[in-house]
């Protein structure tokens, strides 16, 4: 029996979920829901597009909705609204607002008798799981998270707002020397500047003063002022050819001690060619778990901390014990 899935929101992540579902034979994509005119999105590959207002008509026909809206304004509205009607999974990533988001989704999901897994993906998501695992195993130690090398959408948007900038992209790059210090068993207190470097590739408007642009970027409060920031000016062609991908990744590392000073290091890393395609693959695995927990009669909001790993796999517990233990 296949798990009938719907996608809500057809941006980078929504398109990634469509591809991920194609790689998981126990899933079937029933429809994609959008706030735009659905006929504008139809691509002729047999996928059904619907306006989001039609979602209610799919009650009973969709086992789990995979929510792919943006974290800033879409998901705080969409997840509770959809959780009243369907099981859901999302990748809400505004870390500071996760507790209040959880409460609002929990109430909505319980009202509808549905199960919602919130804030999956890789950070929050797989990185959170690894922070928890490492901290539980090495209570005496220090944990670190590094991001990159990867494109940060928020910082790329910020440089595009600088006067004289036509286009641009920003990469967050972990400082290799800092990671090496932790790997060698040190537990340093890093400043923001010591952990990550910000590298910007900028296309300037014709006649714009490049030095002015550089200064405006590197001194920008909250975004760049606390970091060492490189600004490279490139042509529009170079931007198109060399900076169209959405790579990302990073490391969660915990350095701790046990016994009389035995050094123990736990490290988890990701190196991603496509952030949205990878995040989408995580969403689909958690959609499987959401469906199964709901079948067991559970409802309300859950985070990755509440989901047993075995439920992520299409394999049976017997197969998992045989193949992967
Ligand atoms: P996008 O901006 O591509 O899409 C967000 C929404 O915008 C879509 O659902 C879509 O809604 C709408 N949209 C997309 N393209 C267009 C367009 N051309 N014109 C008009 N509207 C459009 O965001 P992403 O898919 O890249 O990311 C979604 C969220 O995923 C991010 O906000 C981020 O918070 C989260 N994320 C989480 C990660 C994690 O590890 N937890 C990792 C990566 C991302 P509609 O179809 O209804 O118009």
Digit-coded pLDDT (tens) for 72-113: 999 999 999 999 999 999 999 999 999 999 999 999 999 999
**pLDDT level of residue 307 (50, 70, 90 thresholds):** very high
Q: Give percent of the chain above pLDDT 90.
A: 97
Produce one character per residue of 254-275: b if its CB has 16 or more CB atoms within 10 Å, e if not.
bbbeeeeeeebebebebebebb
pLDDT band at 243 (very low <50, low <70, confident <90, very high): very high
Give the closest residue (by CA) to ligand 1 atom 17. Answer: 11
Indicate the range of 35-44, 71-80, 290-299, 309-318 predicted with least confidence.
35-44
pTM for this entry: 0.96
The torsion region of residue 116 among left (phi > 0), alpha (psi -120 to 50) and beta comes to: beta
Of 6, 7, 9, the one to substitute when testing ligand 1's pocket (max ligand atoms within 8 A of C-beta) is 9
For 167-198, how does the pLDDT look when each residue is reduced to its tens digit (9 = 90+)? 999 999 999 999 999 999 999 999 999 999 99
Average pLDDT of the residues in 36-51:
91
Three-state SS at 224: coil
Rounded to whole angstroms, the Cα distance separating 127 from 106 reads: 23
Nearest to 86 by CA among 1, 28, 2, 4: 4
If we measure between CA atoms, which residue out of 16, 46, 19, 44 comes closest to residue 31? 46
Give the integer Cα–Cα distance in Å for 183 and 255.
Answer: 8
115-117/49-51 β-pairing: unpaired
Ligand 1, atom 28, residue with closest C-alpha? 70
Dihedral sign for Cα 299, 317, 312, 85, please: negative
Q: Dihedral sign, CA of 100, 191, 272, 152? A: positive
What is the structure's pLDDT at 1?
82
ipTM exceeding 0.90, yes/no: yes
Residues in contact with 309: Cβ distance below 8 Å, sequence separation at least 6, in sequence order: none
Regarding the beta carbon of 10 and ligand 1, being less than 6 Å apart is answered yes
Sign of CA dihedral 72, 78, 83, 88: negative
Residue 276 Cα to ligand 1 midpoint, Å, equals 9
Distance CA 3, CA 287 (A): 9
What is the model's pLDDT at position 42? Answer: 83
State residue 44's pLDDT score. 78
Q: Give the model's pLDDT for residue 202.
A: 98
Nearest-10 crossing angle of helices 275-295, 12-22: 60
**At 255, phi and psi to the nearest 5?**
-110, 120
pLDDT reported for residue 175: 97
Q: Does ligand 1 have an atom closer than 6 angstroms to the CB of 78? A: no
User: What pLDDT band is residue 43 in, cutting at 50, 70 and 90?
Assistant: confident
Q: Of all helices (H) and strands (E), which one includes residue 19? A: helix 12-22
Percent of the chain with pLDDT over 70: 100
- Relative to beta strand 49-51, strand 27-34 is parallel
Greater confidence, 234 or 42?
234
Please report the pLDDT score of residue 46 as a whole number: 87
Please work out whether the CB of residue 69 comes within 6 Å of at least one atom of ligand 1.
Answer: yes
């Amino acid at each position: 029996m296949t798990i009938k899935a719907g996608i809500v929101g057809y941006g980078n992540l929504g398109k990634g979920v469509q591809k991920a579902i194609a790689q998981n034979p126990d899933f079937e994509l029933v429809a994609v829901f959008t706030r735009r005119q659905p006929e504008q999105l139809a691509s002729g590959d047999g996928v059904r597009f619907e306006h989001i207002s039609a979602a209610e008509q799919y009650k009973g026909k969709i086992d789990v909705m995979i929510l792919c809206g943006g974290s800033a304004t879409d998901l705080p509205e969409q997840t509770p609204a959809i959780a009243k009607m369907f099981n859901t999974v999302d990748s809400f990533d505004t870390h500071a607002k996760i507790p209040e988001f959880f409460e609002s989704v929990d109430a909505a999901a319980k009202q509808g008798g549905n199960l919602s897994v919130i804030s999956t993906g890789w950070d929050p998501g797989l990185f959170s799981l690894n922070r928890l695992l490492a901290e539980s195993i090495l209570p005496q130690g220090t944990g670190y998270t590094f991001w990159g090398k990867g494109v940060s959408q928020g910082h790329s948007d910020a440089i595009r707002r600088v006067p004289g900038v036509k286009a641009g992209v920003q990469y967050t790059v972990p400082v290799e020397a800092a990671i090496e210090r932790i790997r060698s068993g040190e537990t340093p207190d890093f400043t923001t500047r010591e952990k990550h470097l910000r590298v910007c590739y900028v296309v300037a408007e014709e006649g714009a003063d490049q030095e002015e642009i550089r200064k405006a970027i590197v001194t920008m409060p909250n975004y760049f002022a606390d970091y060492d920031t490189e600004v490279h000016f490139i042509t529009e062609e170079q931007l198109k050819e060399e900076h169209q991908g959405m790579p990302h990744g990073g490391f969660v590392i915990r350095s701790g001690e046990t016994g009389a000073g035995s050094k123990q290091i736990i490290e988890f890393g990701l190196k991603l060619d496509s952030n949205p395609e990878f995040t989408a693959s995580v969403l689909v695995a958690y959609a499987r778990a959401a469906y199964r927990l709901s079948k067991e009669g559970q409802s309300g909001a859950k985070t990755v901390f509440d989901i047993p790993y075995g439920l992520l796999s299409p394999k049976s517990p017997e197969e998992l014990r045989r193949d992967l233990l």
